[in-house]
A and B are shown apart, each in its own frame.
Chain A
Amino acid sequence: MELVQMQKSLQDYTKSLFLDGVLDSQFLQLQQLQDESNPDFVSQVVTLFFQDSDRILNDLSLSLDQQVVDFKKVDPHVHQLKGSSSSIGAQRVKNACVVFRSFCEQQNVEGCHRCLQQVKKEYYLVKNRLETLFKLEQQIVASGGMIPAMELGF
């Protein structure tokens, strides 16, 4: 594939993520923070996010599977996931966490289970999309090209 085409694909792909609400402007901030002195910033941060989130989702599954659900443990996890997802711009994950927390407050186990599923769904979605995004970027770089800056205002 031609470099220009790859770059265009990347841009379109990224745009779609924003338009779908999978990512929000916070992700753009992250991209802005990436520069020569910090060349892999975004992928580093996102990797950290994946690590943390995998762990949290795991803990959440375990907690919710208990006979007696300890919401005092569940809530902080969800809260943390909400914080980190919002920090990287994973908007839908964050929104799902918000809903999740309200069910936690109500101590609604059934509701929490559903929320957890939703969060997981959104999480795997954004994970998948971001991984694709990074692959596209790598391809461009490997071909000697530059990652195009995101166009603002589309």
Chain B
Amino acid sequence: MTVEQQDCVALDQFPVGMRVLAVDDDQTCLRILESLLHRCQYHVTTTNQAQKALELLRENKNKFDLVISDVDMPDMDGFKLLELVGLEMDLPVIMLSAHSDPKYVMKGVTHGACDYLLKPVRIEELKNIWQHVVRKNRGSNNGDKKDGSGNEGVANSDQNNGRANRKRKDQYNEDEDEERDDNDDPSSQKKPRVVWTVELHKKFVAAVNQLGFEKAMPKKILDLMNVEKLTRENVASHLQKFRLYLKRISGNQQAIMANSDLHFLQMSNGLDGFHHRPIPVGTGQFHGGAAAAGMRPFPPNGILGRLNTPSGMSGVRNLSSSPSSGMFLQNPTDLGKFHHVSSLPLNHIDGGNILQGLPMPLEFDQLQTNNNKSIIAGNSMAFPSFPTQQQSSLPNNNNHLVLEGHPQAPPSAFPGHQINKRLEHWSNAVSSSSSTLPPPGQNSNSLISHQFDASSSSYSIPFCDSTIPLNPALDHTNPRAFYRATDMDSSANVQPGVYYDSLQMRKSGNYGPTTDAMLSSNNPKEGFTVGQQKLQSGFMGGEAGSLDDIVNSTMKQEQSQGDLSEGDLGYGGFSSLRTCI
């Protein structure tokens, strides 16, 4: 586990000296923004290229505290950048745009932006952006985004969507309330970030599995994991993310059989408000335990499309051998058996951030009750799109199975799949609300191996249940984000009367805090496309190689992620992934 130390100098004088990276292809706006930020006493780095920004960020993850990015940039969509930054670096990102259209703002929210500012930016708005840094740090260290708000968010989402989840959530919330240590010094506190590597996540999952998904409590998980320097808060936060992630993936009523540590980790580490879900079944280790132990059998049908045919998928394959949780393509009849669809190598962790967000199979009970629900190969869903070069190296067994599974997948209703509508093939499966899998080959991701396509097409991840506010902080705690006009009067810079035009303009772009309803309604659309995309590219379909290899190659190809996914399946979906939380 790596713990990153914050820059002590910045800490001391925070928010003075906060390090901001400003990205805007328009040099006029960039120059103005730079000056405004300097005026706020921040330390500013500017670039007019999104790619360059990513390089700067990747070069040293601790070099910046906050990113402000324009939405419309020629070399990369601002939302894509937003997602990447959130995933890889877990930095707060503020979107900037001349678009006051609510749907853009919404997109910003769903993609995980901390805030959305309208051009022309005023200095008053920039003076408070440091709050996002604080908020993020508190959230990642406390287990919920902001004291109370995370739970609130979870509560809301659950109330709206997840009947089955409520119990668990309540339990979790109670757990959190009992055990949570309050952050005594919130305003200037910057705790080192815990990076949830694949190994760490595996341990986490194993611990959760051991304890039982519903019974897993941060303290116990922590004890079981026995990792130095990991705090209960870290675990609690991760657990919350995990649960929400699983919930999101599976929809309200289903659990994902996905056994993708990678994916989950990818998502959770990067995403705001990403709540963990304990995944009962995930890794090979787990698998053995789960299948054997009476953990609620994880209906192979799993969550998302039924990829595996009964014949092919039965039994656990490679579970013991693959360190990472591959996807589970479940055979409806083989409860408790997991077909390890993708054994992405977990061993290689590139920077420790690769294997994030591997979805672990969710709620067993859900799975159990929904035998007809199609399960999507977890890995395909879970893994963020890793354009892996090793695709060919992965055995196609699972893919094969997956493919076979398609036609045979029972047309099970797939509640909550609306989330994935955006996914091309996946969305077909989903929106049709049947487990009938669309024929393979609809994969829009050229990087995805053919086999993978097949599986992914059947892979429907009810990704965002969406009642969960994307960013509870954003939602509840920062209504200001949407009310830009409030500062107008206070500014001495503002001429009274005549010159409020620009302010008026800004006002028009204000919306109330995004409601859960909004979030939920949009999340399904967003689906998990990017994640899917990534999964697709990274998913070798089946047992293939090791998760690590795939992750590795995926990470190597991060750069090309921009190329990797285009259109809806690309980052759009990914971003929604974030927001779903």
Binding site for B on A (CB under 8 A): 18-19, 21, 24-26, 28-30, 32-33, 38, 41, 44-45, 48-49, 51-52, 76, 79-80, 82-84, 86-89, 91, 152-153
Contact = CB atoms under 8 A, between A and B. Distances in A.
A28 B122 CA distance: 11
A146 B123 CA distance: 25
Given A84-B29, A89-B120, A153-B495, A25 B502 contact: yes
Nearest to A75: B72
Nearest to A150: B495
A41 B39 CA distance: 12
Given A41-B35, A91-B501, A25 B495 contact: yes
A87 B498 contact: no
Nearest to B99: A79
Given A25-B499, A29-B493, A80 B72 contact: yes
Interface string B64-83: 00000010101000000000
Contacts of A24: 499, 501-502
A36 B492 CA distance: 20
A136 to B, nearest CB: 20
A14 B419 CA distance: 54
A15 to B, nearest CB: 10
Contact of A86 (B38, B494, B498, B505): B505
Given A44-B31, A45-B31, A52-B27, A25 B494 contact: yes
A75 to B, nearest CB: 10
A83 B26 contact: yes
Contact of A88 (B28, B72, B499, B500): B28
Contacts of B25: 80
Interface in B456-512: 492-496, 498-503, 505
A98 B26 CA distance: 18
Interface of B: 25-29, 31-32, 35-36, 38-39, 70, 72, 74, 97-99, 119-123, 492-496, 498-503, 505
Contacts of B31: 44-45, 48
Contact of B28 (A19, A29, A79, A84): A84
Given A80-B26, A80-B72, A83-B98, A32 B493 contact: yes
A45 B502 CA distance: 18
Contacts, number: 95
A25 B494 CA distance: 6
11 contacts: A26-B122, A26-B502, A28-B494, A29-B36, A30-B32, A49-B28, A83-B70, A83-B120, A87-B119, A88-B120, A152-B496
Nearest to A45: B31
Contacts of A30: 32
Given A48-B27, A52-B27, A86 B495 contact: no
B502 A88 contact: no
A25 B501 contact: yes
Contact of A45 (B28, B499, B500): B28
Contacts of A19: 498
Contacts of B502: 24-26, 86, 89, 91
B286 to A, nearest CB: 48
Q: Considering residues B35, B121, B501, which has the most beta carbons from chain A within 10 angstroms of its beta carbon?
A: B35
Contacts of A52: 26-28
Contacts of A41: 35
A90 to B, nearest CB: 10
A28 B119 contact: no
Contacts of A152: 492, 495-496
A13 to B, nearest CB: 16
A153 B496 contact: yes
A41 B33 CA distance: 12
B494 A87 contact: no
B500 A87 contact: no
Contacts of B495: 18, 25, 28, 152-153
A152 B496 CA distance: 8
B508 to A, nearest CB: 11
B35 A18 contact: no
Contacts of A48: 27-28, 31
Nearest to A46: B28
Contacts of B32: 30, 33, 45, 87-88
B29 A83 contact: yes
Given A28-B494, A80-B26, 5 more contacts: A28-B495, A49-B28, A82-B98, A87-B28, A153-B495
B503 A25 contact: yes
Contact of A18 (B38, B70, B499): B499
B503 to A, nearest CB: 7
A33 B35 contact: yes
B419 to A, nearest CB: 28
8 closest cross-chain pairs (CB), A and B: A25-B499, A83-B98, A84-B28, A87-B120, A49-B28, A86-B120, A48-B28, A33-B35
Contacts of A88: 28, 32, 120
A79 B27 contact: no
B29 A87 contact: yes
A41 B35 CA distance: 8
Given A33-B36, A82-B98, A84-B29, A28 B505 contact: no
Contacts of B72: 76, 79-80
Contacts of A26: 120, 122, 502
Contacts of A79: 72, 98-99
A36 to B, nearest CB: 13
Contacts of B97: 83
Nearest to B503: A25
A84 B33 CA distance: 11
